[in-house]
Amino acid sequence: MTNTPVKNPSRIQMRNRRLILDSALEVFSRDGFGGATLDAIAKGAGLSKPNVLYYFEGKTEIYVTLLSQLLETWLDPLVELDPQGDPVEELLGYVRHKLDMSLELPAESKLFAGEILQGAPHIADYLKNDLKPLFDRKCSVIQYWIAQGKLPDIDPAHLIFSIWSTTQHYADFGAQVSVLLDEQDPAARAHQHLEKMFRRLLSPVN
Amino acid sequence: MTNTPVKNPSRIQMRNRRLILDSALEVFSRDGFGGATLDAIAKGAGLSKPNVLYYFEGKTEIYVTLLSQLLETWLDPLVELDPQGDPVEELLGYVRHKLDMSLELPAESKLFAGEILQGAPHIADYLKNDLKPLFDRKCSVIQYWIAQGKLPDIDPAHLIFSIWSTTQHYADFGAQVSVLLDEQDPAARAHQHLEKMFRRLLSPVN
DNA sequence: TCGTTTTTTTACCGTTTGGTAAAGTGACGA
DNA sequence: TCGTCACTTTACCAAACGGTAAAAAAACGA
């Protein structure tokens, strides 16, 4: 009866919604929200445009669905930062995890980057109500580590920004990176560089 | 005779082309290339749409003009990296300069970021023919400094990536930064953090 | 098998888009 | 004062856009 079935999804619904979201991820991350078209998404999914609109209410709903699914998995590594663990290894593990995600899921990173770039119009509430509290908690953890003398004095919030920016750079600016580097796969050197950089930054001062 | 006058620009042409480019920078950086419309650009410039098209051949030409003007000034600080100067101070000066530009000209940074994010379709040639040689030269300079023992062993290319990403983060992800930080102006702390971070990274190992 | 529900297709619509044609307005020098 | 050229406006267009209605087809349960 309802135009957009969500509950008790059949196998066909599961398959087609997945096809649509997969195609939409490519299109939105390549063309941006404004540049993306339902026709391109439908074509990529191998469906007709009205058929796509049978599964989603509109372009915006596809986009927001994609974003919210993304946010869950994307912020997960930050959640796992363990106050009980070794500070340097915890943070370096986080760097590695984030870099791996950027290298393996560049489209997701680009989708998120595009949304923030344009002022986060679709996820402003999420940033304020979900990300901000998590961010504050993790800043407190880092501050706690510093107070314990396990980390050098460093601004927790801006440290996290630096981790985010340096790791996501390989996805978001991948087009630039691949032109500037001579080697085809930057993964290994990126890992070595960030490992060395953040280890120096975080290891205790002599 | 020609539809788009460029030579011997009159005062009116100077003024209106500037008005159009100023408006277009706002619109393109906010809505992306695909999401931007000529109507929005025209409205922002206080002109009619056909009047805008009297000065530029089309949406793409406005966008490319904006990008190429931007690239000149944006890469300038990198050009000025002086092989004769003190390595640490040269690089820290570069960091400061780039951060200042991000903080003061966020729209320009976002415009560039959006272009790269979408695969750099309009400036692929520029990246390959202009930026790449400059990038390689500066990598050589840094490698030279390392060989002289004036810098710790660090991957020059990825060091530049880290400088770019951390500084531009405050512009490109400004919407996120402003939500996550309690203070309204992140400039001072951002400067302190990046200064401390890159100084630790670049100062000689004990 | 039949009837019902789900899924897909065809045909279409109103709006917005980038862009054009051409008439009109203004400034300025001879 | 007139003609020329630079600039601006009005009116318009074809294509692409997001989205809808409704019929056709396929899938499914009894």
B139: pLDDT strictly greater than 70? yes
Name the token pair of A169.
């750079």
**pLDDT class of A204 with cuts at 50, 70, 90:** confident
Q: How far apart are CA A51 and CA A60, in angstroms?
A: 16
Structure-token match 């490992």, residue found: A195
Residues 18-47 of chain B in contact with strand C via CB under 7 angstroms: 36-39
Interface A-B, measured as beta-carbon pairs within 8 A, has a size of: 167
- Where is average pLDDT lowest: A152-156, A179-183, B59-63, B69-73? B69-73
pLDDT of A7: 53
Packing angle, helices B156-172 and B187-202, rounded to 10: 170
Helix, coil or strand: residue B195: helix
DSSP label at residue B119: T
Per-residue pLDDT tens digits for A112-131:
999 999 999 999 999 999 99
Residue B61 confidence class, pLDDT cut points 50, 70, 90: very high
Angle at A49 between CA A47 and CA A51, to 5 degrees: 65
- Residue A3 clears pLDDT 70, i.e. is over it: no
To the nearest whole Å, the CA of B72 is away from the closest chain A CA by 16
Q: How far apart are CA A159 and CA A101, in angstroms?
A: 19
pLDDT attached to residue A111: 98
Q: Is the CB of B59 under 7 A from strand C?
A: yes
The structure's pTM equals 0.94
pLDDT category at A75 given cuts 50, 70, 90 is confident
For residue A205, name the pLDDT band (cuts at 50, 70, 90).
Answer: confident
B18 and B59 in contact (C-beta within 8 Å)?
no
B2 pLDDT above the threshold of 80: no
For residue A91, give how far its alpha carbon lies from the nearest alpha carbon of chain B (Å): 15
* Chain D nucleotides with an atom closer than 7 Å to a protein C-beta: 6-11, 16-22, 27-28
* Alpha carbon distance, N-terminus to C-terminus of chain B: 69
Burial B85-109 (b: 16+ CB within 10 A, else e): eebbebbbbbbbebbebbbebbbbb
* DSSP secondary structure letter of residue B128: I
pLDDT class for B11, splitting at 50, 70, 90? Answer: confident
| Strand C contacted by A10 CB (< 7 A) | yes
Query: What's the CA gap between B121 and A161, in Å, rounded?
Result: 28
Tell me the pLDDT band of A149, cut-offs 50, 70 and 90. Answer: very high
Give the separation between CA A175 and CA B3, rounded to whole angstroms: 35
Question: Is B89 within 8 Å of B74 (Cβ atoms)?
Answer: no
What's residue B1's pLDDT? 35
Q: CA–C1' span, B185 to D17, in Å?
A: 40
CB contact under 8 A, A158 and B33: no
Mean pLDDT computed over A145-169: 97
Q: What is the mean pLDDT of chain B?
A: 94
* Average of per-residue pLDDT across B138-151: 97
What's the pLDDT score for residue A1? Answer: 34
User: CB under 8 Å to B101, separation ≥6 — which residues?
Assistant: B74, B77, B108, B109, B167
